[in-house]
Amino acid sequence: MNSKYKNALLDLLSLEFNCTPQEFSLDSDVLTRVALRDGRRIYSPHKPLFKMVTLGQNTVLNTDKQLYEFMRGHIREFNGHRLFELPSLLKIDKELRRYGHTLTPTFHMFMPDKLVPPKGDHSVKWFFDREIDQFYGDERFPNAICPEFDPNRPDRIVVCAYDGDRIMGMAGCSEDAPHWQQIGIDVMPDYRSRGLGTFLVSLIAEKITEHGDIPFYGAAVANYHSWNIAINCGFRPTWVEISSKPVE
Alpha-carbon distance of 109 to 74, in angstroms, equals 25
> What's the pLDDT at 48?
84
Q: Which helix (H) or strand (E) holds 102?
A: strand 101-103
Mean pLDDT across 119-134 = 96
Mean pLDDT taken over the chain? 96
Domain with CATH 3.40.630.30 in the chain: 116-232
- pLDDT of 1 above 80: no
- pLDDT of 186 above 90: yes
Residue at 13: amino acid letter: L
Residues 6+ apart with CB under 8 A from 183: 171, 172, 173, 201, 204, 205, 208, 215, 216, 217
3-state secondary structure of 170: strand
4 or 178: whose pLDDT is higher?
Answer: 178
> What's the pLDDT at 203?
98
- pLDDT of 143 above 80: yes
Task: State the pLDDT confidence band at 77, using cuts at 50, 70 and 90.
Answer: very high
Q: Which helix (H) or strand (E) holds 209?
A: helix 196-210
Burial letters 131-166, b for 16+ CB under 10 A, else e? ebeebeeeeebebbbbeeeeeebebbbbbbbeeeee
- pLDDT of 4 above 90: no
Alpha-carbon distance of 9 to 111, in angstroms, equals 9
Q: Is the CB of residue 202 less than 8 Å from the CB of residue 195?
A: no
pTM: 0.94
Tell me which CATH code domain 116-232 carries: 3.40.630.30
